[in-house]
Every structure is written in C-alpha cells, then in structure tokens.
C-alpha cells in the first residue's frame, strides 16, 4: 500500500500501478481504516486492479478522489470503475449519471449498501436516473434487508428503464466486504 497526499485529500493505493483503476469509496475509512485497507488489498490482489481509497468526509472529497484516480492512472482516464458503500454508493451512481457534465467517463459504477433514505452526498439531492449517451455499466448490490432489497430492485429497474445496462447483484455473489459474514 502506498499512501499519498493529493491536493486536499489523502489516498491509499493498493495493487500494481499498471493495473486498471478501481476507486473505492467506503465510509468506514474514517472509523476503521485498517479494515478498509485490508478490503482494498484483497480486491487488488483478487481482481488484479489498482485500488484507490480516499479518506473522505464529503462530496467534494469524493470528486477530488475521482480527479486523483484519473490523473494518476497509466491507463486511459475514462477506464475508471467506482464502488461506493452506503451514501457513497449513491454518489457512485450519481457520478455515472453526471459523468459527461463532469467531463469524465466511467466503465462501471457499483452501489453497495444503498437504500431509500440516502441522498447523493455530492449534490445533496435524491438520485433520479435519466437517459445518458454512455456505456457505463451499473451494479446495485441486493440486501438481506427486505426494504433495502425492494429499493435495490426498483433502482435497477429505473436505471434499465432509462436505457442503462444495470444489474441487481445477489448479496451472496458480492464478496467485497470486510469479512464474508457481512
């Protein structure tokens, strides 16, 4: 792991610098940085990707981390994937939705542990999918919680209705958690 200071934000980088870049937004980076580092290292090793983990506090930090991940990548900057947990998962979907307006491109955006009561920390608004001329794939991870599972299914259906390639990933198939029991 390499820890670096980008203008306005601290980031940890896991994996080989020549691998494709995955930006990992996990809110526990503030409360349990060791667990997030272990998760990022596991993702980097198993996925053969370069994982960029910012220490973030708000939507501005999330956007700064996108800039860092893009500028520090040896691959084309629009080859970036982003995985967000909780409200950062909503931010990942928002980033996909607003990528052209922001002047970026994404390969994939994944929302983990999202839910109906979360708003986008970047805009502060609820997220409403709309048609966009991009090929970014959207993944929403299902939940064992019935209300969150219903939200996840409705969210995927809304993105699909707007013309996106969106998938509902079963909880059991998603292994990027601190430990397998989460």
Domain boundaries, the chain: 2-173
* Residues 27-48: tens digit of each pLDDT: 999 999 999 999 999 999 998 9
pLDDT at residue 6, rounded to an integer: 57
Distance CA(60)–CA(9), nearest Å, equals 10
The CA distance from 56 to 53, in Å, is: 9
Strand 21-25 and strand 80-85: the pairing is parallel
pLDDT score at 28? 93
In the chain, pLDDT over 90 holds for what percent of residues? 67
pLDDT tier for residue 1 given thresholds of 50, 70 and 90: low
pLDDT value at 180 more than 80: no
High-pLDDT (> 70) share of the chain, %: 92
Higher pLDDT pick, 30 / 5 = 30
Closest CA to 115 of 79, 155, 171: 155
pLDDT band at 14 (very low <50, low <70, confident <90, very high): very high
Q: Is 15 helix (H, G, I), strand (E, B) or coil?
A: coil
Residue 173 has pLDDT above 90, yes or no: no
Is the pLDDT reported for residue 8 higher than 50? yes
Say what the pLDDT of residue 167 is.
Answer: 97
| Sheet containing 137-141: order of strands | 2-6, 9-14, 50-55, 21-25, 80-85, 106-112, 137-141, 165-169
Distance of alpha carbon 96 from the chain centroid: 10
Token representation of residue 74:
């040896």
**Superfamily of structural domain 2-173:** Alpha/Beta hydrolase fold, catalytic domain (3.40.50.1820)
Give the number of other CB atoms < 10 A from CB of residue 175. Answer: 10
What is the β-pairing status of strands 80-85 and 50-55? unpaired
Average pLDDT of the chain is 89
Q: What is the pTM of this model?
A: 0.91
What is the full DSSP assignment across 45-58? HHHT-EEEEEE-SS
Higher pLDDT, 3 or 75: 75
Given a cut of 60, is residue 181 above it in pLDDT? no
pLDDT tens for each residue of 119-159:
888 888 888 899 978 899 999 999 999 999 999 999 999 99
Specify the length of the chain in residues.
Answer: 182
Contact 139, 170 (CB under 8 A): no
């Amino acid at each position: 792991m390499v820890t670096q200071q980008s203008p306005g934000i601290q980031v940890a980088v896991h994996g080989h610098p020549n691998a494709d870049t995955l930006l990992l937004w996990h809110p526990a980076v503030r409360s349990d940085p060791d667990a997030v580092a272990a998760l990022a290292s596991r993702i980097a090793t198993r996925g053969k990707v370069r994982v960029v983990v910012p220490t973030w506090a708000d939507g501005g930090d999330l956007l700064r981390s996108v800039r860092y991940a893009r500028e520090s990548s040896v691959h084309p900057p629009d080859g970036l994937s982003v995985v967000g947990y909780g409200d950062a998962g909503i931010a990942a979907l928002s980033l996909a939705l607003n990528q052209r307006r922001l002047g970026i491109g994404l390969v994939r955006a994944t929302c983990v542990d999202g839910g109906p009561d979360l708003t986008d920390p970047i805009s502060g608004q609820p997220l409403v999918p709309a048609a966009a001329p991009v090929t970014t794939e959207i993944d929403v991870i299902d939940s064992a919680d019935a209300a969150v599972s219903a939200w996840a299914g409705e969210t995927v259906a809304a993105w699909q209705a707007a013309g996106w390639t969106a998938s509902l990933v079963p909880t059991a198939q998603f292994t990027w958690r601190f430990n397998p029991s989460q």
